[in-house]
Amino acid sequence: MSYYKSREELFSYFNKHSAEKKDELDCHKTRSPLLKSYIVETSCVNKKKDFFDEINNHYNSSELQGDIIEIDDDQEDDKPAAWIESFSDRYFIFYSTRTTEIIENKLMKVIQNSPLLDTLWLADSFYYNFYTYIKNNFNDYRYVKLKMKYDSELKTNINKNFISEDTPEELIEDLKNIETHKDFNLSESINNLNKILPELRKMKYWPAANSISMLRIPAKSGGGIDLYNNGKITNRSRSFIDLHHNIKFLLDNYSYLNKLLEEKSWLKQEKHNFQSSGYTIKGSPVIIEFEKSLDLTIFKNFIYKIFQQRNKNFRLWGEPLKISEKKYHVYGLDLHLWKEVFLELTPDLFVLILPEGVCGNTINRFITNIQTFLEPNFDVYIGDESYDKFLEKSFLEGGLKS
């Protein structure tokens, strides 16, 4: 039996909870966890039933009126652990007022182990477009918080097989002991941030400056909403309505972005009534062009970590085929949906080819993780069009629905 009878009753509870938590935040005394949401993505074809079949393999659930599923595991004070709202047949929102340890760790494990599920992947340029929307729609005295995050593990945690003989031993020891995480928080008024951010992003020698991983969106009710690059959203505002509106705005843009990426990138045959051939090939490669060539040791280490060790963030599998010292081909699988992908990798350029049916989220995931763990200074193209152009279009046209 469901704890709340309807969507309206549940949302009323979320609204009350948000107001109470905002009062506690103002007093710097939070007695219980904030409301968190996690956005989960599935296939681009109608997979709603498959999604809930997968969820039911891991959670006990019941249905409320209004297209809400209640997760009954790990009840506390007789309240469920989480609720799931269906945004569409492809995107679903988990809500929970439990601690991160209880809800997030299990959910992320379920997603990682399921070929059907994936999180959102928000690249630095997605955040920059979101910030542009914020500064055009809020008073410039409102405060915004940005978190820049860069983890140099793929550059410093080098497999010994790729270290050249002439590398100084002192450098090898330094690389073993270096702190790989580089985090930086910037909390300023929109007015000040408009001056600081463009200058900060010119600092190409400091990787974290071009690797935004969290944005606190100002809320109309006061406070803000923290948006993380894996689709986690924490409500620090007074109103659940603010949170829900921002989730809808985010998903309207993100879902439209994926639609545009899939239309442009999918490699497929189209039938025509030509005399010489009945088919034409349509589709565009995803091209990541680094501003500066990757060091050869780092380049080889990247290939080893992603494909031999199967880095869980990239979710790619394949056996790299060495074409030359500086070129590898990978005929692999995207572990989300188990679809074929093809890559050509050099220290200057990564090329990703997606056959029809591969999720557009694969592009966002690849970009976000290269930016976070390898090198944030690069340009991305889908064929002859910049990835930034797709983002701009998604915010102009996708956001009109909100």
Strands 286-290 and 349-353: antiparallel
Q: Which long-range contacts (CB under 8 A, 24 or more apart) does 59-67 make?
A: 62/1, 62/2, 63/2, 64/2, 64/4, 64/5, 64/6, 64/7, 64/10, 65/5, 65/6, 65/7, 66/6, 66/7, 66/8, 67/7
Q: At what angle do helices 124-137 and 240-265 cross, to 10 degrees?
A: 130
Q: Looking at 4-8, 80-84, 147-151, 271-275, which range is the least confident one?
A: 271-275
pTM: 0.90
Q: Quick one: pLDDT at residue 208?
A: 82
Strand order in the sheet with 316-324: 316-324, 327-334, 339-345, 349-353, 286-290, 378-382, 385-386
Give 178 or 242, the one with higher predicted confidence: 242
Task: Evaluate if residue 76 carries a pLDDT over 80.
Answer: no
Q: How confident is the model at residue 397 (pLDDT cuts 50, 70, 90)?
A: confident
Q: Looking at 65-79, 217-231, 265-279, which range is the least confident one?
A: 265-279
Which alpha helices (DSSP H) does 266-341 contain, by range?
296-303
Separation of alpha carbons 372 and 361, rounded Å: 16
Q: Looking at 40-44, 234-238, 372-376, which range is the least confident one?
A: 40-44
Cα 172 to its chain centre, rounded Å, is 33
Q: Which domains does the chain have, with CATH numbers?
A: 7-119 (3.30.310), 124-262 (no CATH), 265-389 (3.30.310)
Q: How confident is the model over 122-170, as pLDDT tens digits?
A: 999 999 999 999 999 999 999 999 999 988 776 666 665 655 555 556 5
Q: Quick one: pLDDT at residue 202?
A: 87
Q: Quick one: pLDDT at residue 9?
A: 93
- The amino acid occupying position 137 is N
Return the H-helix or E-strand segment holding 111: helix 100-112
Separation of alpha carbons 98 and 75, rounded Å: 10
Q: How confident is the model over 289-323, as pLDDT tens digits?
A: 999 999 998 899 899 989 988 788 999 999 999 99
Share of the chain above pLDDT 70, in %: 86
The neighbouring-strand residues paired with 339 are 334
Q: Quick one: pLDDT at residue 156?
A: 63
Q: Mean pLDDT throughout 224-244?
A: 97
Phi, psi of 306 (to 5 degrees): -75, -40
Q: Quick one: pLDDT at residue 168?
A: 54
Arithmetic mean of pLDDT over the chain? 88
Q: Where are the beta strands (DSSP E) in 242-377?
A: 268-271, 279-282, 286-290, 316-324, 327-334, 339-345, 349-353
- Do residues 280 and 270 touch, judged by C-beta distance below 8 A? yes
Q: How confident is the model at residue 75 (pLDDT cuts 50, 70, 90)?
A: low
Task: Evaluate if residue 271 carries a pLDDT over 90.
Answer: no
Q: Quick one: pLDDT at residue 243?
A: 97
Q: Quick one: pLDDT at residue 276?
A: 57
